[in-house]
A and B are shown apart, each in its own frame.
Chain A
Amino acid sequence: DAGVTQSPTHLIKTRGQQVTLRCSPKSGHDTVSWYQQALGQGPQFIFQYYEEEERQRGNFPDRFSGHQFPNYSSELNVNALLLGDSALYLCASSLLSGGGETQYFGPGTRLLVL
């Protein structure tokens, strides 16, 4: 049973560029949440996708956008990158339609903005 997978594992970008991160949920899950974790901090919720719609959003600017595909996989897009966007980006999946809310995390994508 495959767990949550994310790609790429590491990424280096320059200020002003755009980046796309990808996430495949755990088998059988229908919901994907994204979190940002700065160095030394706990993860912060960015947004959650269910049925290809953004279901809930945290306190992040519009530069952060996402998408969920019919196969439940998801992308996180960040435009106009800032140095402060350097962080570990985590994807978590869950089965919303089943009533359970336990989220399982992937290994993360480490983004460095220079």
Chain B
Amino acid sequence: EAQVTQNPRYLITVTGKKLTVTCSQNMNHEYMSWYRQDPGLGLRQIYYSMNVEVTDKGDVPEGYKVSRKEKRNFPLILESPSPNQTSLYFCASTLRGGGSNEQFFGPGTRLTVL
């Protein structure tokens, strides 16, 4: 089944404790992206990647890191989480140049930073 997966789905952590949220897709998509969703603010892009080893900042990159060592994986790293990073996070992927720009979203990761 074609899908985007994220882990963990729920995470409660404390300020300053490094964490990684994994994202994987099995559709051979070149483009992958991370968003955070907050009430009243919609979906805001954190980082995106056009292909392996190519990443770029989105609208709200501060406090986050990403890497793209393999086409299928795009982990989101919070080196020193803070309470203002409490949010719902979505990973998404798209096939570039395939005639469709549909972004396929993962199930989401709800992060709480105490």
A and B held together in a complex? no
